[in-house]
Structure 1
């Protein structure tokens, strides 16, 4: 939403969905986070810098002039929440093989606490 509001382009990605535990490189560190999206930023707005990506999502985390930081995956989504999405919203929308793959990784750890610290540090950062 922020990328689009600032002049970027967001669209349903032709490559399909990202669902469940996914590894992203964010600020040079590999982090496992939960995803549930088909929409992606496909054209950056002016002034946006890519600070996170995955093999599936090239613009997964963006920085806007050190004032706004956005992220495509859902660090607020727990494994239980992803399981609920798989069971109640995924069938008939997300390909079955992706739902099965995401289900198989429900017990794998994620780095929600690390990304929460990263977000907190960004929000607390002193700015001019």
Structure 2
């Protein structure tokens, strides 16, 4: 019988109310995604292959697993700035840098998590002068991106205006878009990151876009542009399948 991979999900944000009611937290959102990816890979479900623990580090900055107790980490997205000089984010960067030094630990970073991994590797992260990407957008894949995702072009939910400004040294870029040149990074058997949100459903995205419109983050013009892309087809489960293969290879 296969020994399950011990995956710790580091929850870097708290979901909006409706998403929270359905999933309990972003750890639950990612477990649902990974479950779909596991089934796509021929398993009965994610619990057959992964032993998942949830760690709400945004709410409890001391809720980190010991690195010798896990085989893999997944860093979620967040509304917070990956470049912020705040105690809990600085602690997260230091923790990830330590985990990266443990070559046996596999790391997945998504959106904010993608940027935190880049920052821990010495890459500049910050505001994108080209502004927001939101809802379903296309990503032009590199040859390595096409190999890993088994697609010629990726369609994925986005919700960011922060970026990693370049690919970490020694890593392979996975893709780019017109407003974000680093849409993912890869180091074989060690790290895979993606700027987009494979875990988002149309309902999750709708709640975020409508909330950001109501609070003035998105003006009427931006809202109209983003909302029309919410229901477009996207490749979240395909990305989840790639994550499963990465965790098990």
Q: Does 1:14 align with 2:129?
A: yes
Give the count of matched residue pairs.
125
The structure in which a higher percent of residues are helix is 2
- CA offset digits 1:20-39 (Å, max 9, x no partner): 10111331321111000011
- CA offset digits 1:17-63 (Å, max 9, x no partner): 00110111331321111000011011333222211211221101101
Query: How far apart, CA to CA, are the structure 1 residues paired with 2:193 and 2:135?
Result: 19
Higher Cα Rg, which structure: 2
Question: Which deviates the most, 98-107 or 9-18?
Answer: 98-107
Deviation at 1:95, TM superposition (A): 4.2
Q: Which runs of 4+ in 1 moved over 6 A?
A: none
* Residues 19 and 98 in structure 1, CA contact (< 8 A), matched pair in contact too: no
Listed as ranges, the gaps of 5+ residues in structure 1 are none
Name the Cα RMSD after superposition: 1.6
Note closer, same or farther for the CA distance 1:94–1:47 as it changes in structure 2 (3 Å cut): farther
- CA offset digits 1:66-95 (Å, max 9, x no partner): 410000011111111111011112442234
Listed as ranges, the gaps of 5+ residues in structure 2 are 1-115, 147-151
Query: How far apart, CA to CA, are the structure 2 residues paired with 1:90 and 1:36?
Result: 13
TM-score (norm 2): 0.47
What residue number does 2:164 align with?
Answer: 41
